Structure 1
Amino acid sequence: MRTNPDYAMDPADLKRLVRENPWATLVAATSAGLVASHYPVMLDETREELSLLTHVGRPDEEVLGLGSGELLVIVAGPHGYVSPSWYGTSPAVPTWNFVVAHLAGVPEVLSAEQNLVALAAMVDHLELPVVSPRPLLADPVDAAYARRISAGTVGLRLTPTRVTTKAKLSQDKPPEVVQRVIAELGGSGPYAAPALAAEMRRVRAEDPRG
């Protein structure tokens, strides 16, 4: 993904993207070619710099060649089709609005205990919205089970050395066009995308043009 300063995200928005979209794609270049896996990620909130915590199931650590090179983590946010019929202008062509971040670096493989701590933090984070949260290690029976099955995973911490972000949200359009796009995305049509509409509203509120 090429860098475009007009669509780049600031560090706070990047962290928000990860917090709100924890399902990521992990990509590695191996001797067998490009490979990809899909796992949840979260911010390592104990560190000031941007760091991600994740895990892979065995033998995905071998498939991804962990420890032998870079890992690319792709975190995608809301996205959706934008019809030219919403613009009310001519000429007009369709586009796709989206929010995404590419984070690359050599991952650190966690110890078994560090992995369990990270897994517990991830589960606790994801359980927060549940009516009756069930933390990973709160119940002795669950904790014993978690310790046993965590041996089938490999924990990772990625502190990226290369970060590319893009939040393409119709920033190049006049305010009245942006408002029409937001209305359509927030409606009930075939391309409704409420989360994308909300993200565009947030960007529009920060736009000095109104």
Structure 2
Amino acid sequence: MRQNPSFTLASEEGVKRLVRAHPWATIVSHTRERGLVASHYPVLLDEDADGIVLLTHVGRPDEQVHELGEHEVLVVVQGPHGYISPGWYDARPAVPTWNFTTAHLHGTPEILSADDNLAVLDALVAHFESGMAEPRLMRGTAENAAYAERIVAGTVGLRIPITRFEAKDKMSQNKPPETVERIIAELEGDGPYADAALAREMRRARDERAVAEPGR
């Protein structure tokens, strides 16, 4: 991913924030048998680990398709993104662009034991069910626990310590404050490219910049 100093997301905490908010990830492997392969799974952060460590699972036989544990994988996580029209700037000539947040995370997966795999599946379900009025937990009842014990064999749990990453947070940081405000207003409007989630991300980036660069 080509980097630009204005948009580089260099902090681990910034990447962790992205993963927490947008846990649907793309896992890419360069394999001996099939060349490039990709799969899509939810991920969680191991909040007790040093650095960035992902917890996830794949359904069999994806662990064989990816040849997991034999090589480094690329995990791509992406936040809100959208088209930015030059008509939202001023009268001077300009070209359109695309605002986005994304991270490319590199690490070699560790295959988990059956017990640890079940714990990861349990944590994934608990995480996403936490917002439900009546959470359906994997082991919330004896019947659910028995079912979980049966299906766990069809999955492979992974722990992926991230050894390096490239991340980008492109939210019009290179534009004057008044232009940023116009873009946010358009994204919060009712036009064809309105995007409330992207507007929130732009406000976050604007506020972070104001703290880091007071007076701008």
- Residue in 2 aligned with 1:11? 12
Helix, strand or coil at the partner of 1:36: strand
Question: TM-score, length-normalised on structure 2?
Answer: 0.93
Question: In the alignment, is the contact (CA less than 8 A) between 1:175 and 1:209 conserved in 2?
Answer: no
In the alignment, which of 172, 181, 186 is matched to residue 179 of structure 1?
A: 181
Alpha-carbon distance between aligned partners in 1 of 2:143 and 2:191, rounded to the nearest angstrom = 47
- Residue in 2 aligned with 1:130? 132
Question: TM-score, length-normalised on structure 1?
Answer: 0.96
Alpha-carbon distance between aligned partners in 1 of 2:174 and 2:21, rounded to the nearest angstrom = 25
Alpha-carbon distance between aligned partners in 1 of 2:91 and 2:190, rounded to the nearest angstrom = 22
- 1:193 partner amino acid: D
Alpha-carbon distance between aligned partners in 2 of 1:46 and 1:138, rounded to the nearest angstrom = 24
Alpha-carbon distance between aligned partners in 1 of 2:22 and 2:169, rounded to the nearest angstrom = 14
- 2:52 partner amino acid: L
Deviating beyond 3 angstroms after TM superposition, the runs of 4 or more aligned structure 1 residues are: none
- 1:2 partner amino acid: R
- 2:42 partner amino acid: P
Alpha-carbon distance between aligned partners in 2 of 1:120 and 1:110, rounded to the nearest angstrom = 14
Alpha-carbon distance between aligned partners in 1 of 2:203 and 2:13, rounded to the nearest angstrom = 17
Structure 2, unaligned runs of 5 or more = none
Helix, strand or coil at the partner of 2:168: strand
- Residue in 2 aligned with 1:98? 100
Alpha-carbon distance between aligned partners in 1 of 2:46 and 2:131, rounded to the nearest angstrom = 19
Helix, strand or coil at the partner of 2:43: strand
Alpha-carbon distance between aligned partners in 2 of 1:127 and 1:12, rounded to the nearest angstrom = 24
Alpha-carbon distance between aligned partners in 2 of 1:103 and 1:95, rounded to the nearest angstrom = 24
How far is 1:135 from its partner? 1.9
Alpha-carbon distance between aligned partners in 1 of 2:24 and 2:198, rounded to the nearest angstrom = 17
Question: In the alignment, is the contact (CA less than 8 A) between 2:51 and 2:162 conserved in 1?
Answer: no
Q: Percent identity?
A: 59
- Residue in 1 aligned with 2:190? 188
Helix, strand or coil at the partner of 1:6: coil
- Residue in 1 aligned with 2:23? 22
- 2:92 partner amino acid: S
